[in-house]
Amino acid sequence: MKRTERIDRLELMRTFIRIIEAGSLSAAAVQLGTTQATVSRRLQSLEALLGVKLIMRSTHAMKLTDDGERCYQHARQLVDSWLALEDDLQIVDDNPVGVLRVRAPHAFGQQQLLTPLVDFLQRYPQLAVEWMLNDKNIDFISENIDCAIRVGAEVDPATVSVLLAEVPRSLVISPELLETVENVSDPLTLSALPWVAISTFYQHEVTLQHQVSRESITIPIVPRLSTDSVYVARNTALAGLGAALISSWTVEEDIAQGRLIELLPEWRAAALPVHLVYPWARYYPARLRKFLDLMREVMPKISGMQLPAKE
């Protein structure tokens, strides 16, 4: 009976932590795969067990009490310690278990990373991955995400950020469109071109650097189309809508086959950094550590990637 009580208490603390980190009982219920009524009942049970009020709730708001804040800090440490124990005891031959929740950019997640992801899952049969594709900023705690692969994003000092590789970019245009414009002989002539902008990385100007002299120049542009999709940018560039500055791996074959032409190859935009980002914690489960090891190993080897430039 005592063993059952301990397990129940751990579940109550896990639920309480998820309520706080998800921001509401309903969000916690979704993340835990249960009902809001069950979550509310577990919260009431924990409050009754401890003899204090942990959360003040109104129709539209939720606030931790002072006792609730202290309970959250202790519960977080206890659950982390329990997870470390579970993880250590369940690992057989260093094989991780459980579910890893990963956020990845659409383009990378649909194509470049699928082969290493499949190999990763086949290597560790007791592991499952939730592979969510989204390029937007992440709230790891409230969205219950373990880690994210970010391309070109600024590093958040509140997270752990590991630089994995860089993505070179190419300035491309369709042959048909190039025939209709005046001679593009230097960067200053690029402003006159119609453009397709990848709004995540550039919108109204592009900065290029000469590969020999290291001179930099910023050119204003007026996009015909702005998009947050690398694939849309590639396809509309192929259709002749405008020039585009795009990850080289997406247009490598198009350039080789003559469907797109690389403009001014001696001038290049800075490569985009690729980071694996995850929230700081006292304990990291084996599934996250193994995934980080995988990304460090394979990312620089993926077609179109390169090792980070040394400072």
Fold equal for 95-165+273-301 and 169-270? yes
Q: Is 184 left (phi over 0), alpha (psi -120 to 50) or beta?
A: beta
pLDDT of residue 86: 64
Cα 58 to Cα 148: distance, rounded to the nearest angstrom? 34
Number of H helices and E strands in the chain, helices first, is 11, 15
pLDDT of residue 84: 66
pLDDT of residue 240: 96
CATH classification for the domain delimited by 9-89, as one of 3.40.47.10, 3.40.50.11900, 3.30.70.120, 1.10.10.10? 1.10.10.10
- The CATH number given to 169-270 is 3.40.190.290
Q: With bands split at pLDDT 50, 70 and 90, how would you rate the model's confidence at 18?
A: confident
Which is more confidently placed, 178 or 136?
178
pLDDT of residue 177: 95
The SS3 assignment for 260 reads coil
> Can you read off the two tokens belonging to residue 238?
């192929």
| % of the chain with per-residue pLDDT over 70 | 91
Q: With bands split at pLDDT 50, 70 and 90, how would you rate the model's confidence at 197?
A: very high
* The pLDDT of residue 9 is above 50: yes
Amino acid identity, residue 197? A
Q: With bands split at pLDDT 50, 70 and 90, how would you rate the model's confidence at 87?
A: low
> Can you read off the two tokens belonging to residue 134?
């989204």
* The pLDDT of residue 85 is above 90: no
Domain-wise residue ranges, the chain: 9-89, 95-165+273-301, 169-270
Nearest one of 202, 194, 245 to 222, comparing CA atoms: 194
Lowest-pLDDT choice from 21-30, 55-64, 66-75, 245-254 = 55-64
Amino acid identity, residue 297? E
pLDDT of residue 154: 75
Q: Residue with structure tokens 């999709």?
A: 229
User: Torsions phi, psi of 201, nearest 5?
Assistant: -120, -30
- CB under 8 Å to 67, separation ≥6 — which residues? 50, 52, 53, 54
Q: Which CATH architecture has domain 95-165+273-301?
A: 3-Layer(aba) Sandwich (3.40)
User: Torsions phi, psi of 158, nearest 5?
Assistant: -80, -5
Cα 70 to Cα 90: distance, rounded to the nearest angstrom? 30
The SS3 assignment for 7 reads helix
Q: Which of 24-38, 46-60, 146-160, 217-231 has the highest mean pLDDT?
A: 217-231
pLDDT of residue 11: 83
According to DSSP, the residues that pair with 173 across neighbouring strands are 261
pLDDT of residue 69: 84
Q: With bands split at pLDDT 50, 70 and 90, how would you rate the model's confidence at 254?
A: very high
Cα 114 to Cα 104: distance, rounded to the nearest angstrom? 11
